[in-house]
Amino acid sequence: MRGFWAVYKKELYSFWASPILYVVMFVFFLLSGYFFYSAVAYYNVVSFQATQNPFLAQELNAISMVIRPFLFDTSIVLLLLSPLLTMRLFAEEKKTGTIELLFTYPITDIALVYAKFAAVLTVLVVLLLGTLPYMVLLGYLTKLSVGAVISGYLGVILMGGAFLSLGLFTSALTQNQIVAATLSFGALLGFWIISWMKSISYSTLGKVCEYISLTYHFDPFAKGLIDTRHLVYYLIFIIFFMFLTIRRLDVERWRG
pLDDT in tens, 164-192: 999 999 999 999 999 999 999 999 999 88
Whether pLDDT at 256 is above 70 = no
The stretches of the chain forming alpha helices (DSSP H) are 4-16, 19-50, 54-57, 62, 68-86, 91-96, 98-104, 109-129, 132-141, 146-171, 177-193, 197-200, 204-212, 214-222, 228-255
d(CA 58, CA 146): 21
Whether pLDDT at 230 is above 70 = yes
DSSP for residue 63: I
pLDDT band of residue 72 (cuts 50, 70, 90) is: very high
pTM above 0.85, yes or no: yes
**Amino acid present at 46:** V
